[in-house]
Structure 1
Amino acid sequence: MRFRLAFLAAVLFAPFPALAQTPGLERVLSATTLFLSDGGGYDLALLVDNLDDGADLYVYLGLERNALVAGAKPSLVKKNAAWAGSMAGTRPSLAVNDKGSLLVKSENDSIGRDRWSQTLTVVRRNGALVVAGLTYTARDTLDPNAGGSCDLNFLSGKGTRNGKKLEIKAQTIPLADWSDEKLPKECKF
């Protein structure tokens, strides 16, 4: 755990020429290390403010300690991976769940009456980064009967909507193809 924290601190705070040359990395909103690769090394995910109400996701796979200094390129750059506002309650973040999957979180919990939160669960399958799941909640601050929640596992085809079990078509959704405009009907409230 200490090495993981030291690695993350070194990535974020050391003057890496490779990071300085990659557009937008000076606007890191969130970062985490994790283990998505089979070949060893650390994997690094960065969420970067794109200055256009969004955040871009940079994923580096199989990094050794000095890989970024040597000019490692991201394995994936997903533009607009998360919505990003400029105030508390609207900032996206990254996390790792207890199974080692990457969580890409975004929310609006401070602006207007329509509040929502979204978490994408990202895993690596057959060498590709895929959206394995989606957890989404919505509420209306003026109408307590509006809104709802869904939790979908795209790989298994199982999920819930407002606490009731449901089945969806099992599918593999490449992270590169994910778009918030394609929010499943089970998660529209």
Structure 2
Amino acid sequence: MFRTALVTAMLVAAAAAQAEPDYSRILDAETFSFENGETDRAVLVANGDSSSDLYIYLDLQSASDGKAPKPALVKKDAAWDGGIWGSRPSLETSAKGSLLIKSENSGAGRDRWSQTLTVVYRNRQFIVAGLTREAYDTLAPESGHSCDLNFLSGKGKKDGKAIDVKTPAMKLADWSDGDLPKECNF
């Protein structure tokens, strides 16, 4: 009986921890609209493990019943977080209402890079629609590389030259920086 109660309590605690961010560790938040006219919010929270978690809330106006809104998506390890200046992730929105998840290493070591994921909301899914990435070695800056990919149109650029993008758009929940498309893996 005690063991069942303990397991149940642990599962409830784990579910609660995933549903609500640690507000003392918020790195950035963005209030915007995923092109639907409703008030949506994205919150980026340091998770203490060299990355940050993303919480996306939809239609905050409907959640005015006094209860805390529930996230529509919790994406663990959404962006790398180096913990110091020049390596903290951030959020922005594009003029078209897309969420931009930005991460970088511009402040430490010789391998410098920046990355922006473009996230859209289509058919009740959060989709990675694009990736922009730049990288260079501070000891050999002329050896830098860049890519700008649009997964929805299948068009992009690598090192300034037009390319066809073979990687299809995917759900944000399935995205991993560890599996970058070959066009941006340099």
Q: State the TM-score bracket (shorter-chain normalisation).
A: 0.7 to 0.9
Q: Is the counterpart of residue 26 in structure 1 residue 24 in structure 2?
A: yes
2:124 equivalent among 122, 127, 130: 127
For residues 79 and 179 of structure 2, what CA distance do their matches in structure 1 show?
A: 13
For residues 85 and 69 of structure 1, what CA distance do their matches in structure 2 show?
A: 36
The change in CA–CA distance for 1:68 and 1:81 in structure 2 (over 3 A counts) is: farther
Residue aligning to 1:59: 56
Alpha carbons 2:35, 2:96 under 8 Å: kept: no
For residues 167 and 145 of structure 2, what CA distance do their matches in structure 1 show?
A: 22
Q: Structure 2: which amino acid aligns with 1:30? A: D
2:33 equivalent among 32, 35, 42: 35
Classify the secondary structure of the residue corresponding to 2:183.
Answer: helix
Residue aligning to 2:72: 75
Residue aligning to 2:141: 144
User: What is the CA deviation profile of residues 86-136 of structure 1, one whole-angstrom value per residue up to 9, with x for unaligned ones?
Assistant: 211011000001111000000000111000000000001111000000000
TM-score (norm 2): 0.85
Q: Structure 1: which amino acid aligns with 2:147? A: C
Give me the CA root mean square deviation: 2.0
For residues 83 and 170 of structure 1, what CA distance do their matches in structure 2 show?
A: 22
Residue aligning to 1:45: 42
Alpha carbons 1:155, 1:170 under 8 Å: kept: no
Name the count of aligned residue pairs: 170
For residues 41 and 148 of structure 1, what CA distance do their matches in structure 2 show?
A: 38
The change in CA–CA distance for 1:66 and 1:124 in structure 2 (over 3 A counts) is: closer
For residues 165 and 41 of structure 1, what CA distance do their matches in structure 2 show?
A: 36
Shift of 1:37: 6.2
Q: Is the counterpart of residue 101 in structure 1 residue 98 in structure 2?
A: yes
Q: Structure 1: which amino acid aligns with 2:118? A: T
For residues 134 and 102 of structure 1, what CA distance do their matches in structure 2 show?
A: 12
Alpha carbons 1:108, 1:116 under 8 Å: kept: yes
Identity of aligned residues (%): 55
For residues 51 and 74 of structure 1, what CA distance do their matches in structure 2 show?
A: 20
Task: Return 5+ residue gaps in structure 1 as ranges.
Answer: 1-17
2:179 equivalent among 170, 182, 189: 182
For residues 68 and 122 of structure 1, what CA distance do their matches in structure 2 show?
A: 28
Shift of 1:26: 2.2
Shift of 1:68: 8.4
Alpha carbons 1:149, 1:162 under 8 Å: kept: yes
